[in-house]
Amino acid sequence: MAYSIILQLCALGGTAMFTLGIYRLYFSPLAKFPGPKLAALTSPIVRINPWELHIRDPDWNEVYMITRRAYKPVWYYQFLGTSGNSFTSIEADVHRMRRDAIQPHFSPAAIARHQPEVEQLIGKLMGRLAAFKDRNEVVNLGDVFRCLATDVATAFAFRTPFGHLDSIDFEHAGNMAVRQFGVLGLLNRHAGGRLLKTMALQLAVVIKNELESTPNSEEGEESKTNIIQQILTSNLPPLEKSPGEYRDNRELPEKAIRLREEIQQLQKTLGRPPIYRELKELPYLTSVVNEGLRLDGVSGRLPRYDLKQDMTYKGFVIPNGTVVSTTQNDTNFSPDIFPDPHAFLPERWANETDRKRLSKYLLPFGRGARNCLGMEIALMEIISRLGGCSPLMLATSWSCTTRTTTAMWHCSMTTFRHFQRARGV
C-alpha cells in the first residue's frame, strides 16, 4: 500500500514537471524569446529563466526611463534582509515618495557643505600613507580606500566618522568581513530573505540607539539629526565606488605624470590646494575618473518590470509584468563603443565630441528614477581623493607586490595600482 502511494506520488510529480516543461517551452508568454544557446547565435535578447529576460544592447534603456513606473523584483533586491527604505522599495510610487523626502539632503549644494570634512579625512589619509612610506612598510590599498569611503559616509550621516582611518591596520579584518556580504546576499536571495533577517533586526536596534543618542540642533542651525534620519533609509554610495583610478605608473608613466602635472598646475595658479569644485573642472582628472568608473562599475544586473505597460525591443513585444534586466559590463566592455575595452585609456575621454558620445554609455550610478541617490557624495570623495593623493603619491616611483587578488604596496618607492575584483552577472 505504502509502495503504491509512493509510485503514485512519483508519477504525479513527473507529470507535473513534464507539463510545466511543455508549458514553459511552448505556451509561456516568454516561450517566443530565445534561450541562452540560441540567443548567443541569433539575438541580444535572452530568456535567462522562466520569468526574466536579459537584453545585451547598450542603446536599449526603455525599462529605466524616468517616465516608466518600473518595479523591482522582491527576491532580487531584498538581499540583505532589509525592507522599508528607498533602495528596496518595490512599488514605483512608494519609492518616489521615500526618495522625495530625502533628495534635498543629497543635492550638490547640500553635499558641498560637507567638503571641509572630506578634506580633513583625506589629509589624515595622506599623513597615514606618508608614515608608511617613511617606515618602509606595506599597506593594503583595498583596506585604505574602504576606510576612507566609510569615514566619509559616516561623517556625512552621523556628524562624526567611525574613525576607520585611525585603525593601525586600516580595519583589515572588518573589511574582509564586509567583502563576504556579496556572497551572503546571494545566498539570501535564494533563501526567501530569511538568512539575514535576524541581522537586519539587530541592525535596526543599532540605528534606533544612534538616533536616540544624537542631540537636536540648536535653533537656526542645520538639522544634522534630520540628515541622519533620512540617510538611514537611503542607498549610500557603495564601497565599490572606490574605483581603480590608481594604476601602477611603471606601466602607465605618462598618464601618472600628466595627472600630477595638471593638478600641480592648478595648485600653482590658485596659490593653494584646489577644492572639489575646482578639481572636477580639470579635463584629464575627469577623464581618469570616467575611465576608472567604466572599468570598475557595478557588475550585477539591474532587473525591473512594469505591471501596466508592455515593452518593445526590435520587434519583440515584452509582456507587462515580465522582469527585464541589463548589465553595465556589457556596455563598459563593448569593443564597438570602447575600443580595447580592458585597457586603461583616459585619453578616450579627452576629445569633447568623443566625451559627449561616450558619456551616455557611462552609467556607474545607475539610471532613471532609481539611480544612486549618493552619487554626488561618491564623486566628491573620489575626485577629492585623487586631487589630494596624486601629487604626493605620484611624485615618487613605487614598487608593487601582488598576492592573489589583493594589491599590496611596498611604500619605499610606490604607486597605486588597480585593486582587482571579480566580475560577473
383: amino acid identity, one letter: I
- Residues 346 and 284: beta-carbon distance below 8 Å: yes
- Residues 77 and 87: beta-carbon distance below 8 Å: yes
Query: Is residue 272 exposed (0-12), middle (13-18) or buried (19+ Cβ within 10 Å)?
Result: exposed
Number of Cβ within 10 Å of residue 194's Cβ equals 9
Query: What is the rounded distance in angstroms from the CA atom of residue 57 to the CA atom of residue 49?
Result: 19
- Residues 375 and 365: beta-carbon distance below 8 Å: yes
Look at the alpha carbons of 79, 80, 83, 89 in this order and tell me if their dihedral is positive or negative: negative
| 389 is an annotated ligand-binding site residue | no
Q: Phi then psi for 139, rounded to 5 degrees? A: -135, 140
Query: What is the rounded distance in angstroms from the CA atom of residue 109 to the CA atom of residue 332?
Result: 30
Q: How far is CA 278 from CA 177, 206, 219, 340, 398, in A?
A: 36, 38, 33, 31, 28
Residues belonging to the binding site are 372
Residues belonging to the binding site for heme are 372
